[in-house]
Structure 1
Amino acid sequence: MKTIVRAGIVAGVAAASMVWPVSAMSDPGGEQGIRYVALGDSRAAGPYLDAAAMVGGCARADAGYPNIVAGSLRAVAFVNVACTGARAEHVTSVPQHTPTGSVPPQIDSVMPDADLITLSIGGNDLGWSGLVSRCYTELPGEDAHCRTDPDTTPRMNAALDALGPKITATLTAIAQRAPRARVLLVGHGGIYDNRGCWPNIPTSDADAAFVTDFFSRMNRVLADSAATAGAEFVDVTVGARGHDACAPSEQRWYEGRQSLSLAKALHPTAAGMRHMAQRVVETVRRTAG
């Protein structure tokens, strides 16, 4: 299932926190505005955040950042095909198998006349959770010392080295499909900070800092790929300090291994999605201005 929306301008709602479900939008008529397509994995889909995520196999929520961006920018056309579990090839060329069936490559839904395309991808390609799990401890107060493990860093390096070309190729394919569109690659990170909190983030503080650095390196790879392909990179870690998975639940933008909200474990909360949307909108408006 994909979300397709045409929207008129709705006034009087705060842009940074606005969510437009499909039923709230109307036909634009002759109005001109942004035609927006959202692509990617669960970081865009927002699994389990609301009832919409229970429909179809992609677990795509209305509370995901693409819907908020569409409302904030008053998009006159909006297509959201982000799908939980997606890898780069599911964006460009390979159908993705979901619990309810198969969905076509996401790029098939990109309008050639799109003005804006966002992409969240790379986490499943890296298999980051498996890499990071080497830093986890079984008991509080323990230290796995993954930061000095002779195998962990080489595995991370190899995964990051393989990621860059895949993301560059994906962004290039998107640009060829919609040559006039601004393409924004939305970064990763935010779950971890320089602290552990067993059992939610079951690492020592030193290993937590090591994991945080791994995501910083991942974002540098993504930023380089965006620059190479003529896209723009959105760093969602800006302004997110103190809202990691070890923060109090009311301040948390990302869940850890034990989710205390509707969000899937190790994914953004609804507040995190609003933050990510704000970063996208700020990027669009800043560079457009």
Structure 2
Amino acid sequence: MARTKKLRLLTLFGTALASCALLATGLAPASAAVSPPATHHGPPVINYVNLGDSYSAGFGTGTIVAGPLPGCYQTNGTSQVTLVAAQAHINLLIDAACAGAKTTDVATAATAVAPYLAQADLVTLTLGGNDLGWSTVVGACSTQGTAKLCDQAILATLLTLPKAAKSANKTLRIIDAATPGTILLQGYPRLFSPEFGNNPLITAKRAKQLNNLADLLNLSLAAATHGTSAQFVSVSSRFQGHGIGSPTSWLYLNPANPTDSFNLHPTATGYLLGYYPALKSRINALHLVY
């Protein structure tokens, strides 16, 4: 059941994006004990927990490092998480986002960091994309795939969506029960910019089809927040015109290495100008006092 949750006033979140970029630093794994709120004169300190998959773990920037949980990997690059955590009144209790995490893995991580969630005022995450096997779909529909493989992959994704949404809802309910904080679930960008025509990776026609799948995934994730206090935060409009195929793409792609683990993830610019503003805008719009 959804609960009313109050968040401490975030009056300093109006920091300019350029300043945020200068403040951003790589995150080391959190210590074993919950970090106490720092002594701070000004706005109340916000205790913050981050969960989720590679889009919350900073993949696409920096260097891969070990996270706080077994088998968990993140990066030390700029992301929406490092930008939020750089604010003077934010106390990052733990960043437990793990690359490759499926919805059930995020639920397991939430259980593992329950003591942190119990003290959190703000929880952010991304989830759902790995349940669909996006990299497999993109590979099948790329110029290296075939029409038959692509059509089969798209159909399989459509059939998997309801199950993924149900699992996302279950995970959000687990997080909701574990924290008094505000939960913000960020969606995924459309990966491609077909308006610029065909590109070496994918044709404009297939790019449009995969963008439609991304839209369906985001709609499913928004619906998955129902019955919980979680709020869905879209990033689609902010990435418009900056997908793969655009001369100003905000998504990482290494054509020479199709297995590069950073492929299809935001670049530092994508996190700075895409994910972070969407998150900051929603936090500012809450106007809640914890």
The TM-score bracket by the shorter chain reads 0.7 to 0.9
How far, CA to CA, are the matches of 1:92 and 1:76 in structure 2? 23
Deviations 1:165-214, CA, capped at 9 Å, x for gaps: 11001110001100x21101110123223256443xx2221111111000
Find the residue that maps to 1:227 and give its secondary structure. coil
Distance between the aligned counterparts of 1:197 and 1:206, measured in 2? 8
Distance across 2 between alignment mates of 1:30 and 1:81: 25
Aligned mates of 2:279, 2:147 — CA distance in 1: 36
Distance of 2:95 and 2:175 partners within structure 1: 15
Gaps of 5+ in 1: 1-8, 95-103
SS state of the match for residue 117, structure 1? strand
* CA displacement 1:9-49 (0-9 Å, x = unmatched): 999963553414569xx972155321110101110112362
Q: Following the alignment from structure 1 to structure 2, what is the Cα–Cα distance between the partners of residues 71 and 117?
A: 15
Taking the aligned partners of 1:187 and 1:270, their CA distance within structure 2 comes to 17
Partner of 2:122: 116
Q: What is the aligned counterpart of 2:16 among 3, 14, 17?
A: 14
Q: Aligned residues: percent identity?
A: 25
1:86 is matched with: 101
Moved more, 126-135 or 158-167: 126-135
In structure 2, the residue matched to 1:3 is none
- Per the normalisation by structure 1, the TM-score is 0.77
Deviations 1:197-238 (A, max 9, x none): 443xx2221111111000000000000011332210110112
Report the equivalent of 1:68: 83
What amino acid is aligned across from residue 39 of structure 2 in structure 1?
Answer: G
Distance in structure 1 (CA, Å) of the matches to 2:261 and 2:12 = 28
Measured at CA, do residues 154 and 263 of structure 1 come closer, stay the same or move farther in structure 2, by a change above 3 Å? closer
Report whether the alignment pairs 1:29 with 2:39: yes
Which residue of structure 2 lines up, in the alignment, with residue 98 of structure 1?
none
CA distance in 1, matches of 2:256, 2:51: 25
In 2, Cα distance between the equivalents of 1:12 and 1:287? 13
Listed as ranges, the matches of 1:208-227 within 5 Å are 208-227=207-226
| Per-residue deviation, 1:107 | 3.9
Gapped regions of structure 2 (runs ≥ 5) = 1-10, 29-35
The answer to whether the 8 Å contact 2:93/2:116 transfers is: no
Aligned residues: 259
CA contact (8 A) 1:60 1:83 kept: no
Q: 1:226 to 1:172 in 2, by over 3 A?
A: same
Give the TM-score normalised by the residue count of structure 2: 0.77
- Asked whether the equivalents of residues 189 and 236 of structure 1 are also in contact (C-alpha less than 8 Å), the reply is yes
Q: Distance in 2 between matches of 1:43 and 1:239?
A: 15
Aligned in 2, Cα 1:232/1:11: closer, same or farther, shift over 3 Å?
closer
Larger relative contact order, structure 1 or 2 (CA cutoff 8 Å, min sep 6): 2
TM-aligned CA distance change 1:11 to 1:66, over 3 Å: closer
Give 1:87's aligned amino acid.
K
Report the AA paired with residue 192 of structure 2. Y
